[in-house]
Structure 1
Amino acid sequence: MSYAETRTTDDRRRRRLAVTGDATSPDPSEGPGGIARLRDRLGELPAASPWLPRTLWKRGVLGAAFGLALAVAGFLLVQPLSWAPAIAPVADHLLSGRQPVLFGYLTTVLWLVAAQFAGLVGWYRSHSERDFRGRYRVWAGLVLAFAGASFLAGTGVHQPLAAAVTPHLPESIWRPATVTWSAPLAGIGAWLWWRMDRDLRRGLAGLWLTRLAGATLLATGLGCLFAPELAREAWYPAAMLLGPIIGLGLLVLGLWLQACYVAYVCADPPEPASNGWVRNGLALISSLLRPWWPFGRPAAEVEEPEAKPTRRRKKADDEEPEAAPKRRRKPAAKSRRTTKSRTRVKPEVEEETVEDEEAAEESWEAEEESWDESAETPGETDEAWLEAATAPEPVSTKPAPTPPRNASPPASTADDDDDDDDRADGPHANADLFKGLSKRQRRELKRQLREQQRQRDD
């Protein structure tokens, strides 16, 4: 294997390991302590989040308990109850009023818990071996956004700031007291929510819970914006109290399940979607508007590919070999051979069927058996055949013609070499005698011929 092929194979192996390799495999470049450091890191991952259970039944129990606690809190906020005289002052302080104290504390705590789970998801996502674009950094922005929302929910400072800025705004703004603080928060929240939704597409449970949470919080924001029209409705105060609690509860639950997923299942980013609903919608709209688009290119200007020039090129290519014929080499001068020429038959390679191969094998086996029998019991036919083969050729009395003076020297060929080998074997050499025999049979025949010649000389 050449150097280029080896380098290509190494590059393919690196890409395959980067895409399908195990994230827990140690890197040999870390040194002798790489495996130990990797084990320590894997041991620290579950220890850093003891509140993330590994088993499903524990997650179900904790999720049900969390939902039940939120349901009880929402019921206490919405439904007025008659309390005992001993606890009535405390209950009235926590649950009475347009904005109960318990509601403010509850929303503040839920935003803080959501920020903590977002930071935990981002920390696990930062250990991914395939996040080449660094998409885990979006979770840092989510942590800051959730922490800021918790501060605003606990202090309510956004409303006094909006009231202070409202006199300096033009009168054309619709409901400036609410739009001043709701519009910036809605824009920032929509952008961050879209970024979070892109990174949650591996864990379906967390994805759909966060989507429901976003829809609930959006409906609550619209309720705040249209408060003058909806304040007369009997269900409006209860909806404005339950909406944030339900939305934040779904958000915390979705981030908690996503943290469990990236901690114990897969911390890699989701695969990029080839076709989304936005892309499909734009493609459909463009296909419908294309016939009426006034700036399209006219059909007359579209140049069609011509096939005739290609045909002419092909003809020209075909005529090139005829215009430049190949040069023929001058044949070498023929020399008179003093020995009998041997005819060589080149074996023709043909495609044989299975039956022809079996027949050929049977014929070879039969010939080998006949050779073995003749070697064990030599008969009179073999001796006669050997005598006829070893009979000396009659000597010609005609004088050999003299070659001309300008005759070229004989060309050395492979046939002359074979004739020299035959002459070296003795006067018994004959081309037809050894034709069709293997090397072993030729050696055996030559040995028998030499023995017979020695017996005749004696």
Structure 2
Amino acid sequence: MANGFAGAGRLDERRRRRLASEDGSNAVPEVPEQEVQRSSVPAGTRRPLPQRQLPTELPLQFVVPRPIWMHALLGVAILAVTVLLSLKMAQARADASEVARLLFDAQSGSALRGLFAIEMLAASMFLAIVGWARSLSLTDFDGRFVTWLRAAGCAFATGIVFACGLDQALLSVLVDVWGEAAARLVPAGLSLVIGSELLWSLYRDSRGSRATGILCLGLALASGTAAVGCAIDVLADVSATTLTMSAMLVGSGFTFLIAIWHARYVVYVSVEPLAAKRRPARKKNEAKLDPTGTAQLQQPPTDPTQSKSQTPAEVADGEEAFKVVGNDSPEQQATTTQTEMNTETGSLKAPRAARKKIKPERRKAVSSAAPAPEPVEQAPPTMEIDGKTLRLDLPEQQLLKGLSKRDRRLVRKRLRELERQASVPPSDRRAA
């Protein structure tokens, strides 16, 4: 019975394996072709990194415009609205209407504060998109995407404070605690801190874009102007208050444009950091153009120990001491030719230097040893047969023409000896 039960167990095991294979549970999973190719590459082979793109599930293309003209139109619209609100602020002081003061007052105008809060909140949204997209980079080893997230948090906090009116409440508390003079310095400090944080965070990672650099410069000027306006002693003056609020609106507009412009890059181009453009270093031997348009080369520094005037005898001795073999260098030839041409045409212009410096030929000093003797021409090998002198340097057919078999064998034997002597070095011959 034990054997029977053991056989039944084996049959059950076979049945389970067959059913599992029919169901496909033990089937080998299909490996993608890219993985197979990647696994077949030997270790140590450099492979390019895959191109990282944003996931297609997020329709960011409907939020971030791609054409450049749309970004330019958006910037012009923001600038026009800012100028219009600045003019309204100047007119709200003289206008006795309560509605105008409620909307366009420089200190508590709801329209101005609402526009500033909307621009900062929208900028924080695009800055967060840029930071999240940059976090997918495969080459950002420094973690610079964190600066975009930090800038997004700073812009979001500023927008919430102005949207909820917390700045006025904070200012009134500061006036009650430290006085009006100290309370005026707090907004100036906050403006400088926020502007510096945004400027450093945005420009540090996108310095390769010229448009971003211009926008960051505008943001720095607006932030500095707002800080100066807040720190003015006569803060209640209309001109100072209007200037401060106008600078804040301009700064928020620049922040929004920087965020949406770089969001276009990470959405449509690449999530990798934007490389900074470096200018090639200027070569020392490059020719410079003077105001008249004539090229001039930099003259080598003169030796201060050398005397300014020399007698003709000293000049002759110096030329004889530094006499060299061969012609002058290509630079001297080009300068001499150009000087002669200017002399013939009567032009007063200096010789134009070549853009690319030609390396002069290596100068060799004259050897003081005796000249080597001229090589003596050796006489061609000859051979006498039956009173005739045969030159062995002639072709073999011409040499053997008209000779008997015995003489031909002698001539061939002599030719083989000459060939053997020519193949052996002279030192081996002397040793032999």
TM-score (norm 1): 0.47
Identify the structure with the greater helix proportion.
Answer: 1
